[in-house]
Amino acid sequence: MKPVAAGAELKDGVWVNEDVAMLAAASGVKAPAELANPYLFREAIAPHLAADHKGVAIEIPRIAAALDALAGLADLVVVEGVGGFRVPLGPHRDTADLAVRLGLPVILVVGMRLGCLNHALLTAEAITVRGLKLAGWVANRIDPDMGAYDENLATLAARLPAPMLAELPSLPVPDPRRAARLIPPQKLSAILKYISNSE
């Protein structure tokens, strides 16, 4: 599930967001679009701005209801965020409020580049302050030339209050299927088991 997606292209008369399409392709359940992605905006801008431009409000209860419906269709539902843990969804709410309402364990994806230590540690703190469980984190090497990469990874492993679930290398072209193949099957099984036990 991707509750909110901003940025879509018209394909065969239908507005399509690349992330939503990739999630649908990876899913073992064919879910109705209005459940898997309740809010889709054409503009690739911050969600609250895209919603404002379209004249709609992003309603957290609507997203929660969609998740409840999806949970009845699948054994496991993974909910992908949009832009980060504190991205505004409206004048008085953000994705942290959504995470609290959904009450799911959180997996933090750390974009491995200069500045990631501060960003990751602040985000982990914000997750904990909200009373949510940080189930684990993923190192996503988006800068292949990042200096002191191994030392940064070790720093995060020592300071983040959750296990590293996966380490993804930099890929010349983003390809989730190739990235998934880089995670050993036993590690992927352990990740899914860990997530399920963290709920």
Domain boundaries, the chain: 1-83, 105-199
Catalytic residue among 2, 11, 30, 187: 2
Q: Is residue 149 a contact partner of residue 122, using CB atoms and an 8 Å limit?
A: no
**Is 30 designated active site?**
no
Domain 1-83, CATH number (from 2.20.25.90, 3.90.550.10, 3.40.50.300, 3.40.640.10): 3.40.50.300
Q: What is the pLDDT of residues 130-145, one digit of tens each?
A: 999 999 999 999 999 9
CATH superfamily, domain at 105-199: P-loop containing nucleotide triphosphate hydrolases (3.40.50.300)
What is the rounded distance in angstroms from the CA atom of residue 197 to the CA atom of residue 28? 20
**Mean pLDDT on 94-116:** 95
Q: What is the pLDDT of residues 159-181, one digit of tens each?
A: 999 999 888 888 887 777 777 77
Which H or E run contains 8?
A: none
Query: Three-state SS for 70?
Result: helix
Q: Is residue 99 a contact partner of residue 131, using CB atoms and an 8 Å limit?
A: no
Q: What is the pLDDT of residues 62-76, one digit of tens each?
A: 999 999 999 999 988
Say whether 105-199 and 1-83 share the same fold: yes
> How many other CB atoms are found less than 10 A from the CB of residue 176?
14
Count of residues for the chain? 199
**Mean pLDDT on 92-99:** 96
What is the rounded distance in angstroms from the CA atom of residue 156 to the CA atom of residue 154? 5
**Mean pLDDT on 31-36:** 93
